[in-house]
Each structure stands twice: as structure tokens, then as C-alpha cells.
Amino acid sequence: MTTTNTTSSATNSNGSNAAVIASLNSQAQKSASSFAASNNALSGSGGSSSASGLASNLNMFLTMLTTQLQHQDPLSPTDSTQFTNQLVMYSEVEQGIQTNSNLTKLISLQNTNQQSASIGYIGQTVEVSGSDVPLQNGNAEFNYSLKSAATNAVVQIQDSSGNTVAQLTGLTTTGTHYMSWNGQNSSGTQLPDGKYTIVVKANDATGNTISATTNVYGKVTGVSSDATNGTQLDLGSAVTSTMANVTAIVDTTTLNNQIATKQ
């Protein structure tokens, strides 16, 4: 009778362990899918949220792995192939987390080095590709380029609300033309320093629009950095430019001469 109870107890224990292991295996499969999703996001643009999710999944995986070992039947242990695959999975996820950590450190170091190097731009006048021009000390400078000759060309100066506050007559020949704006609106009122937008409108003899590219000039007053855009140059208090958009450091005397001749 005692033997029968012992055997029954062992059988129940083994059955219970088998049920636990089966449940853990099912969870492991789900966790594996979650690992893959987090790893893909981490390799792409998932960022810190994906890294956090990956670390969370790794902790869950370790918990399930150790629990599985505790509940396995000594007479019928976990399949060695399955166990090896789980260890390989653990190793890959751990390496993914470590790689992400090292890449984050490298990116941070690169941004710091770039920001340090950018300090030398302070006080310099730079040329930046784009149409947002800084009005600094009541003066703004820019250029525009026409791919073909136009019959008329005007440059509109717009404020932050998109309202045209001034309009300048531009040259119509093919090539690059340099201009400045004194910061006054159409009524002659001096406008405050800040960000304004230049819009070039040019047409040929048949009325077709001729596209124009624009560059603006500004004196660098500071350097800033953020996680999205990296190192940026401050052109006054309202206009910033990424390093990628800076096309040149310019000599102000040469620029003033180009503006004076409008060439």
C-alpha cells in the first residue's frame, strides 16, 4: 500500500513538473518572438525603449530558464538540443544589449567631440543651405541661384506667421545672386531681430516658374546639441543650423562686396 502511494506521488510530481515545463516552453517560444522583435527594433531605430524592452525580455528568459531547470524530471531531463538553443538565445540577446550600450557611448562621445570642435565657429559668419534667414542687428544676408534666365524675379521676406513683410527686386540672370535686407517692412518700420523666411519667385517669358535654391548667412553666436539633431549652430536667438547644412565659413568683406555688386 505504501509503495502504491509513493509511486502515485512520484507520478503526480512528475506530471506536475511536466506541466510546468510545458508551460515554460510555451512562454519561452513567446519570449523568443519578443526577443526577435526587440532585436530588430534595436538594430533599426527603436532607440532606448527597444533596449529597455530587450533587457526586460532577457530577465524574463533567465527566470524561465532557471525555473525550468528546477522543475525538470531527473529521470527525463530537458532535451540537450533545446537547452543549448535556449543558451544560444540568451547569449545573442545579452550581446545585443551590450552592443547597444557600447554604440550609445560611442554616439555620445562623437557628439561631444563634434560639439567641442564646433566651438571654433562662434563669432564666424557661415553660409547655410536653406531659406530661414536670421535678422541680426537689423541686417540679413542671403543668396539665391537661378538655373535659367528669368524675365522677372522678386524675393519675398516672410515673418514666422507666413506674412510677407517686405519684397525685394532680384536679378534675373542665370547663376547666383547675393542680397541683403535692412530689416524694414514695406512701410519703413524696423522689425525686430529674429527668424524670417525668404521666398524667391521667378518666371520666364511664358510665365513658367523657374526654381531657385537659397542660402543664408549668419554670425554664429552659440553651439547647442540634442539627441535628435546632434550639434547645432545658433545664428542669433531664433535660427539654428545642423552642421550638415553649413556649406562654408565666409569672409564678411568678400560677402559685402558680392552684395554690393549683386553678383
pLDDT per position as a tens digit, 145-154: 999 999 999 9
- Contact criterion met (CB below 8 Å) for 188 and 195: no
Confidence band, pLDDT 50/70/90 cuts, at residue 80: low
Average of per-residue pLDDT across 77-91: 68
Mean pLDDT, the chain, whole residue set: 79
How many residues are there in the chain? 263
Confidence band, pLDDT 50/70/90 cuts, at residue 27: low
The answer to whether residue 206 scores a pLDDT higher than 50 is yes
Other Cβ atoms within 10 Å of 104 Cβ, number: 13
User: What pLDDT is stored for residue 226 in this prediction?
Assistant: 78
Residue reference for cell 502504491: 4
Nearest to 191 by CA among 212, 168, 166: 166
The answer to whether residue 49 scores a pLDDT higher than 60 is no
Average of per-residue pLDDT across 12-22: 52
Average of per-residue pLDDT across 232-251: 93
Q: What is the DSSP code string of 34-93?
A: HHHHHHHHHHTT-HHHHHHHHHHHHHHHHHHHHHHHHHSBTTBPPPHHHHHHHHHHHHHH
Nearest to 126 by CA among 111, 141, 113, 139: 141
In this predicted structure, which of 84-93, 130-139, 226-235 has the lowest mean pLDDT? 84-93
The answer to whether residue 155 scores a pLDDT higher than 80 is yes
Average of per-residue pLDDT across 194-219: 96
Confidence band, pLDDT 50/70/90 cuts, at residue 13: very low
User: What pLDDT is stored for residue 100 in this prediction?
Assistant: 75
User: What pLDDT is stored for residue 7 in this prediction?
Assistant: 44
Rounded to an integer, what distance in angstroms lies between the CA atom of residue 88 and that of residue 79?
14
Rounded to an integer, what distance in angstroms lies between the CA atom of residue 89 and that of residue 80?
14
Average of per-residue pLDDT across 42-51: 50
For residue 112, the cross-strand partners are: none
User: What pLDDT is stored for residue 40 in this prediction?
Assistant: 54
User: What pLDDT is stored for residue 50 in this prediction?
Assistant: 53
Q: Which of 13-27, 38-52, 223-237 has the largest mean confidence?
A: 223-237
Rounded to an integer, what distance in angstroms lies between the CA atom of residue 8 and that of residue 10?
5
Nearest to 227 by CA among 132, 117, 99, 112: 112
Domain ranges of the chain: 2-118, 122-261
pTM (two decimals)? 0.61
More confident residue, 228 or 77: 228
Confidence band, pLDDT 50/70/90 cuts, at residue 231: confident
Nearest to 138 by CA among 193, 58, 216, 203: 193
Domain 122-261 in this protein, CATH class: mainly beta
Confidence band, pLDDT 50/70/90 cuts, at residue 176: very high
